[in-house]
Amino acid sequence: MVARGDRSEPRGRRRPRQELRKQNVGTRTLHLNLFILGCGHHRAAWRHANSPVERVGDIRYYEELAQIAEAGKLDAIFFADGNSVGNVEDGPTWFLEPLTCLAAISRATERIGLISTVSSTFYTPFHAARMMASLDHISRGRMGWNVVTSMFDAEARNHNYEAMPTHAQRYARAEEFIDVVLRLWDSWGDGALRQDRQGLYADSGQVCAIDHRGDHFLVAGPLTVPRPPQGHPVLFQAGASEYGRDLAARRAEAIYAVAYDLPAAQAYYRDIKRRVKAAGRQDPVPIMPGLVTYVASTQAEAEARQQELDGLLPPEASLRQLQTYILQDCSDWELDQAVPPLPPLEEFKGPKGRYATVLRIIETEKPTVRQLLGRLAAGGGHCTVVGTPDRIADHIEHWFTHEAADGFNLMPPCLPEGIEDFVDHVIPILQARGLFRRDYEHTTLRGHLGLKRPNN
């Protein structure tokens, strides 16, 4: 098996599966999420002859992807979001605005959770709270919010800034932003709506102003939207920096992570669980690293699929992608030479998470520039596993039972095949091993993730 980014997984010395399961699974349930991005997470996916590139602006494409994920009983689908265009020559990055998409998808699905990024740097808390509360009503309790502080100056320039505010400024705003959003969701009590034709529409005693006056926001409240069905749509976070980890540990109810290999995943997992405990929280806070899978009935076929996609990637386009991760011009790097030295993480001024992964790949594999580009082509440094359904399931089980993950954010290199193959061939194995649900047991995203509903 080619288990890229999974070199530390022991082979041939594994304990019997039942024994492991008793020790480490217990009542835990694996969580699986489909991360939807354009034609798939491989930068060259759109170039493939069978790619759905003509459909990335067609809402029916996304509805179909969500329906496939729902047929596999996945916890949720997730849309990332950005506020600048990127290099349009290299393929589709953004097209439809994700909250708008989720409104449509909620009407094409019944049970699957619906998660979108919403930036605390560019939205106002009132707008964000209102849209997400509406989506929680429209979907009857399936909405989740991945709070990000955003990354790029090009995005900032679309929102009244000359450049991105510093990390410290962004995270201070994020903290206050989250507070205000939660208070707006709490501004209607659970029992506020009476809808009594002979009496009150709503009990004004349970609909309260929040009168927030902080460093970043002045918000009177109450919200225009009554209490969301979940109380609060589920709060996700994916920051890798110290600020991001602290915020996640204090506020997030579930976490997306980037982990290139098992040791990196375990170090992150233990660090976050320790911070959650130190913050005095008892919540489960499931951690879901990204997982890029090439699934096929034989190892050779899976590897051929990966090579086929890698072969479609023009080196100039991957160099441009690398440039966005390391924030320096690498257009004149020699493809078959070793990667030139890069500044240490502490000196890097941009987003730290992805940069740390690039440094880790360089440190552990000493790749040539071309090899590094290949590793980053799908998922940009998230763990990649290439193999048969059984081997993919082994990988998932191994990480799940070794304090590396509570679930995975699936990042298929090609859509829709990548998720169809996963649902048809990997999910049944996970179900047969007792790791994954055979049917939904709940109707809300909170329910799927085992999270309590905040009552008010």
Where on the chain is the footprint of ligand FMN (CB under 6 A)? 80-82, 117, 146, 148-151, 238-241, 243-244, 256-258, 290, 351-353, 409
**Closest CB to ligand FMN among 258 and 426?**
258
Q: What is the smallest separation between the CB atom of 121 and ligand FMN, expressed in angstroms?
A: 9
Taking the C-alpha atoms of residue 50 and residue 85, their distance in angstroms, rounded to an integer, is: 24
**Closest CB to ligand FMN among 139 and 146?**
146
Q: What is the smallest separation between the CB atom of 27 and ligand FMN, expressed in angstroms?
A: 26
Q: What is the smallest separation between the CB atom of 187 and ligand FMN, expressed in angstroms?
A: 27
Taking the C-alpha atoms of residue 246 and residue 229, their distance in angstroms, rounded to an integer, is: 28
Q: What is the smallest separation between the CB atom of 272 and ligand FMN, expressed in angstroms?
A: 13
* Contact by Cβ (8 Å): 79, 117: yes
The residues, any chain, with a CB within 8 Å of residue 212's CB and separated by 6 or more, are 179, 180, 183, 218, 219, 220, 221
Q: What is the smallest separation between the CB atom of 26 and ligand FMN, expressed in angstroms?
A: 26
For 399-429, b where at least 16 C-beta lie within 10 A, e where not — what string? bbbbebbbbbbbbbbbbbbbbbbbbebbbeb
Residue 353: CB atoms within 10 Å: 18
Residue 285: CB atoms within 10 Å: 22
Q: What is the smallest separation between the CB atom of 33 and ligand FMN, expressed in angstroms?
A: 9
**Closest CB to ligand FMN among 70 and 155?**
155
Rg value, the chain, Cα: 22
**Closest CB to ligand FMN among 71 and 154?**
154
**Closest CB to ligand FMN among 255 and 386?**
255
Taking the C-alpha atoms of residue 40 and residue 43, their distance in angstroms, rounded to an integer, is: 8
**Closest CB to ligand FMN among 296 and 383?**
383
Q: Which of 334, 330, 314 is nearest to 322 (CA)?
A: 330
For tokens 């605390």, what's the residue? 120
Amino acid at 152: F
**Closest CB to ligand FMN among 41 and 398?**
41
Q: What is the smallest separation between the CB atom of 237 and ligand FMN, expressed in angstroms?
A: 7
Q: What is the smallest separation between the CB atom of 163 and ligand FMN, expressed in angstroms?
A: 15
Q: What is the smallest separation between the CB atom of 268 and ligand FMN, expressed in angstroms?
A: 10
**Closest CB to ligand FMN among 351 and 389?**
351
**Closest CB to ligand FMN among 232 and 382?**
382
**Closest CB to ligand FMN among 46 and 268?**
268
Q: What is the smallest separation between the CB atom of 294 and ligand FMN, expressed in angstroms?
A: 19
